[in-house]
Copies of this chain bind each other. A is one copy, B any other.
């Protein structure tokens, strides 16, 4: 039971027999919070902002915003991401809704968690009034975040793990041209698991989702690897 509500469970009847004025229901705000995941030299990172205003002023948080009256949730999430990174057409998806009564001190704010995968090389930081400071943080060294944002990150990473094999995502975290070794290292980082090199590449190549390029790695102190590109997804 929330302290910021004068209504108790016993005072209400369900549906069309509302014991409180209908207007009392229209007092929620919706927000989106984005877990923006990047990959850099073998490490998974999350883009965080330092909050410039109360509540949780000075604390790190996921970039997010209230949903405006004219937009739907997906649009709000895309707006947050594009304002922050300047990137458009980035992979994004819903994770889960977080609706605990007291999760936001200012009022009843229900948030929808999103996650997106960006290639850190493409990312151009755009500091702005609402994001005084923003930085990539190592995924296993996250500070304590504002609100329930640590929970949102955890849920986002779980969803990513579940979807990586099935939907063949994750390539968004790599440059356009990549080697099989890079994919393997990335998936091993995400799934926290080691794979046999030979078996991994057999499986990946048989999936028909990679295009082999006529190009090799350069300036590496070992046999240069063949570069691949992602097939335009048909499914």
Contact = CB atoms under 8 A, between A and B. Distances in A.
Contacts of A12: 68
A29 B28 contact: yes
19 contacts: A2-B70, A5-B69, A14-B80, A15-B65, A15-B80, A15-B129, A15-B130, A16-B52, A16-B53, A26-B29, A28-B28, A28-B29, A28-B30, A30-B99, A72-B99, A72-B101, A94-B96, A97-B97, A99-B112
Contact of A14 (B2, B14, B101, B128): B128
A101 B7 CA distance: 28
A101 B70 CA distance: 7
B94 A14 contact: no
A71 interface: yes
A184 B25 CA distance: 44
A24 interface: yes
A7 B69 contact: yes
A100 interface: yes
Interface string A8-38: 1100111111101000111111100000000
Nearest to A80: B14
Contacts of A14: 65, 79-80, 83, 128, 130
A190 interface: no
Contact of A7 (B29, B70, B74, B112): B70
A71 B24 CA distance: 13
A146 to B, nearest CB: 13
Interface residues of A, number: 50
Contacts of A69: 2, 5, 7, 20, 24-25, 27, 101, 108
A73 interface: yes
Contacts of A30: 28, 99, 110
Most buried by B among A1, A25, A108: A25
Contacts of A16: 52-53, 129-130
A66 interface: yes
Interface string A57-68: 000000001111
A184 B205 CA distance: 35
